[in-house]
Copies of this chain bind each other. A is one copy, B any other.
Amino acid sequence: MSNAISQEMTGSTQEIKNGWKPEIATAPLYLQVAHHLESRISNGDFAVGSLLPTENELAEALGVSRQTVRQAIGLLRNKGRLSARKGVGTRVEAIEASSGSTRFIAHSRSELFEIAAETEFVIGFREMVSAQGKLAVDLGCRPGRKFLHITGVRYPANRGKAFSWNEVYIDSRVAAAVKDVTVARRAIFHYIEEFTGEKIHEIQQDVRPIAMDEDIAEKVGCKGGDLALIVNRRYYGSGRRLLEYAFQILPADRFTYTTTLRAET
């Protein structure tokens, strides 16, 4: 054992470069390394377009094995933050902010967190409902199950122009998780995870075009009949129990759904 954690524990005063110091056994090491690298990138410590230190250098500097560094780099490559080429090195990539329309539809669970953190969901209405008919079908449950129904508008964190209309259905068993929330600054399912201690393992998301409804259009500042995207999400806990169902309506002229597909190797 020669990594920085044990050094920390044995009271060694040797300082790891750039002030990094591993946590005390919360997250796995490769995740800590990934977060560390990510923050140093957004710090500008590793410039976009430049090459990262080599895997061996990083491993030595952070006091972990090269495998662990590779695992961390692998995560960031999946997210598009890094790209690697054999014989060359690992390059810091720009986060594509493709032409004007910002990315506000998530491609991963962690991105949902980030988006939610940058926005505010102002809850305007809430009631308990019993799933019947189309709703029961949408929720994939038998009629009669109780859900907390919440509606509201999502704003950028700085309270600019509203950008989406949101409706959320939460399983009554976990609805207490949001009973005191009037303005959500985190993802709703984050509240649920915190409340139950259980992790949302899977989120199924689908995107469809619709024509904007008259009164929803008014709430998000556009005209009825305008083109929009509706994003449906189903949140499943362990054993594929549906804990939350939500949909979101985004004006099409403001938002585009962008993805980057990469070669595996």
Contacts and interface: CB of A to CB of B under 8 A. Distances in A.
Interface residues of A, number: 39
B258 A98 contact: no
Contacts of A209: 209-210, 227-229, 252
A219 interface: no
A207 B109 contact: no
Given A261-B106, A261-B109, A264-B110, A256 B205 contact: no
A202 interface: yes
Given A209-B209, A209-B252, A260 B204 contact: yes
Contacts of A108: 261
Contacts of A28: 265
A235 to B, nearest CB: 9
A107 interface: yes
A112 B208 CA distance: 20
Number of copies: 2
A51 interface: no
B109 A258 contact: no
A200 interface: yes
A23 interface: no
A210 B227 CA distance: 7
Contacts of A107: 259, 261
A180 interface: no
A206 B104 CA distance: 12
Contact of A259 (B110, B200, B205, B265): B205
Given A31-B265, A209-B210, 6 more contacts: A98-B204, A98-B206, A109-B261, A200-B263, A202-B263, A204-B259
Interface of A: 28, 31, 75, 78, 96, 98, 106-110, 112, 199-211, 227-229, 252, 256-265
18 contacts: A109-B262, A110-B264, A199-B263, A201-B263, A202-B261, A202-B262, A204-B259, A204-B260, A204-B261, A205-B260, A205-B261, A206-B257, A206-B258, A206-B259, A207-B256, A207-B258, A208-B252, A209-B228
